[in-house]
């Protein structure tokens, strides 16, 4: 069982220490965990400049020494990006290797996407967002997956959904570029814990991505607290099935590798008593 989106005390919005996640992960049957703490550069973000790479890597080393015989621990990051911050992002990452990187677009002209979803119709919420995503997938190669692609629906279940028909042409270009470069989605289960009741992205987007050659989706809870680590992985598996996927992905030697979905499902089934 894989958990590829977690936040520790190395992120300003979590109070859970890395070793606490490791102990919980082992207890519930997680085999691999990626600690994707925030790396933020947008001036509107209060987390800007918070990331302390040496402290983070020291925690990784300590946890690998203590738990590495029972748990694969990936050094990872959730990197916020937009075209305005792209030069800072490149400079910051230039000498900081990670095993796995989620790239997320949170801010549009200084406004958080979730706030936009509470105030605007879907077409307006995602107009500039999809422009940023298209720029990302056609100009950058530092990341493996795009984070919580339809993030707005975590905040508004109507305005926060991407209008597939209105955006189909641009989505096609985005998905073609992602597939050509081996990029995937962070299948983020945090929205299952909200009124949306489904991961980000949902089955409709995953199905469309697949028709454009998409092959990769990692699964993560986007947890910031201990009791949600590893939660709703079963829902993610079912969502992939609904979208006609037969695989989920993890990292091997720095690259996304697809594994049979039934293998993931079986690990969830075996872990289910510990998850309840």
Each residue's pLDDT tens digit in the chain (276 positions)?
Answer: 899 999 999 999 999 999 999 999 999 999 999 999 999 999 999 889 889 999 999 999 999 999 999 999 999 999 999 999 999 999 999 999 999 999 999 999 999 999 999 999 999 999 999 999 999 999 999 999 999 999 999 999 999 999 999 999 999 999 999 999 999 999 999 999 999 999 999 999 999 999 999 999 999 999 999 999 999 999 999 999 999 999 999 999 999 999 999 998 888 776 655 554
Positions of E strands within the chain: 2-6, 32-39, 72-80, 100-104, 107-108, 111-112, 145-146, 184-188, 217-220, 247-252, 255-260
CA–CA dist 133, 112 (Å, integer): 15
Whole-model pTM?
0.96
CB 56 within 8 A of CB 18: no
* Sole residue written with tokens 């102990």: 23
SS3 107: strand
Which of 194, 222, 276, 254 has its CA nearest to residue 8?
222
Query: Collapsing DSSP states into helix, strand and coil, what is residue 253?
Result: coil
What the chain holds in terms of domains, given with CATH numbers, is 77-275 (3.20.20.140)
Looking at residue 46, what is its pLDDT? 85
Q: What angle do CA 113, 103, 158 make, to 5 degrees?
A: 30
Question: Cβ–Cβ contacts within 10 Å for residue 210, how many?
Answer: 17
Q: Is 198 helix (H, G, I), strand (E, B) or coil?
A: coil
């Amino acid at each position: 069982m894989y958990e590829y989106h977690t936040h520790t005390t190395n992120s300003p919005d979590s109070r859970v220490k890395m070793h606490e996640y490791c102990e919980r992960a082992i207890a519930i049957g997680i085999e691999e965990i990626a600690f994707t703490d925030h790396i933020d550069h947008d001036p509107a973000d209060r987390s800007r400049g918070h990331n302390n790479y040496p402290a983070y890597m020291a925690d990784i080393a300590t946890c690998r020494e203590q738990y590495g015989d029972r748990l694969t621990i990936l050094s990872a990051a959730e990197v916020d990006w937009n075209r305005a911050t792209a030069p800072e992002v490149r400079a910051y990452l230039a000498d900081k290797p990670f095993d796995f990187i989620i790239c997320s677009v949170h801010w549009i002209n200084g406004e958080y996407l979730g706030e936009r979803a509470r105030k605007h119709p879907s077409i307006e919420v995602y107009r500039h967002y999809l422009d940023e995503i298209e720029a990302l997938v056609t100009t950058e190669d530092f990341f493996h997956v795009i984070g919580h692609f339809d993030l707005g629906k975590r905040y508004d279940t109507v305005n926060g959904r991407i209008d597939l028909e209105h955006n189909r042409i641009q989505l096609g270009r985005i998905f073609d570029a992602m597939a050509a470069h081996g990029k995937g989605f962070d299948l983020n289960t945090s929205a299952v814990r909200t009124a949306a009741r489904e991961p980000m992205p949902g089955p409709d987007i995953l199905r469309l991505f697949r028709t454009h050659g998409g092959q990769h989706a990692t699964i993560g809870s986007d947890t910031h607290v201990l009791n949600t680590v590893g939660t709703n992985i079963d829902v993610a598996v079912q969502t992939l099935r609904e979208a006609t996927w037969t695989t989920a992905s993890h990292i091997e030697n720095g690259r996304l590798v697809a594994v049979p979905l039934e293998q993931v499902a079986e690990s969830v089934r075996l872990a289910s008593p510990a998850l309840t």
